[in-house]
Amino acid sequence: MPQHTFTVNGTSVTVDAPADLPLLWVLRDLLGIRGPKYGCGIDVCKACTSHLDGEAVNPCVVPVSEAAGRQVTTIEGLADGERLHPVQEAWLEQDVPQCGYCQPGQIMAAVALLKRTSNPTDADIDAIDNVCRCGTYFRVREAIKLAAAKMAAAETSQQTV
């Protein structure tokens, strides 16, 4: 069986797996990383959204062979130790989660959006097409706006120091 070496949440890993095995199953079943959720397996619900070299991807449809030599970040790798990422903080402050199943994917999609644009419009936010069965979309929008403001404030304070 082929070996695939890549970095997950800052740690180098090597797994024995078929090249076409979806990265989601490698993360969950072989590495025990449970944040990315299985929802549909066909790139529709996006409950598994993670980052590959900083870009949002859905590991349910990304073969593990595509991760070789690259950086994978899941919700588990987003916080800096005990310090939550500003998007995670905003999610809590806006009381976004209900059942919580889709939230890791939603948060990872929001982080990717905020990397692309520091001041997203409602249309930018609505383009995140992660499915939430509980319908917390309004709170998701408010949390992303709050996170953008937090990140802008942190950047401004770093520039003045």
* Same domain flag for 22 and 47: yes
Task: Inform me whether the pLDDT recorded for 21 exceeds 70.
Answer: yes
* Same domain flag for 153 and 99: yes
Backbone angles phi, psi at 23, to 5 degrees: -55, -35
Domain boundary among the residues 77, 94, 110 is at 77
Task: Inform me whether the pLDDT recorded for 160 exceeds 80.
Answer: no
Strands (E), the chain: 3-8, 11-16, 50-52, 55-57, 71-73
* Same domain flag for 48 and 15: yes
Predicted TM-score of the model (pTM)? 0.94
Output the pLDDT for position 158.
80
Identify the domain containing residue 125 by its residue range. Answer: 86-160
Output the pLDDT for position 161.
62
Task: Inform me whether the pLDDT recorded for 18 exceeds 90.
Answer: yes
Confidence of residue 159 (pLDDT cuts 50, 70, 90): confident
- CATH number, domain containing residue 124: 1.10.150.120
- CATH number, domain containing residue 70: 3.10.20.30
* pLDDT tens per residue across span 117-137: 999 999 999 999 999 999 999
* Same domain flag for 91 and 126: yes
Cβ pair 14, 4 in contact under 8 A: yes
Domain boundary among the residues 32, 51, 77 is at 77
Domain boundary among the residues 26, 43, 77 is at 77
* pLDDT tens per residue across span 41-78: 999 999 999 999 999 999 999 999 999 999 999 999 99
Number of separate domains in the chain? 2
Confidence of residue 108 (pLDDT cuts 50, 70, 90): very high
Of the candidates 125, 137, 128, 111, the one whose C-alpha atom is nearest the C-alpha of residue 54 is 111
DSSP letters, 51-97, are: EETTEEE-TTSSBGGGGTTSEEE-GGGTSBTTBPPHHHHHHHHTT--
- In whole angstroms, give the CA distance from residue 51 to residue 59: 9
* Same domain flag for 29 and 58: yes
* Same domain flag for 63 and 120: no
* Same domain flag for 60 and 125: no
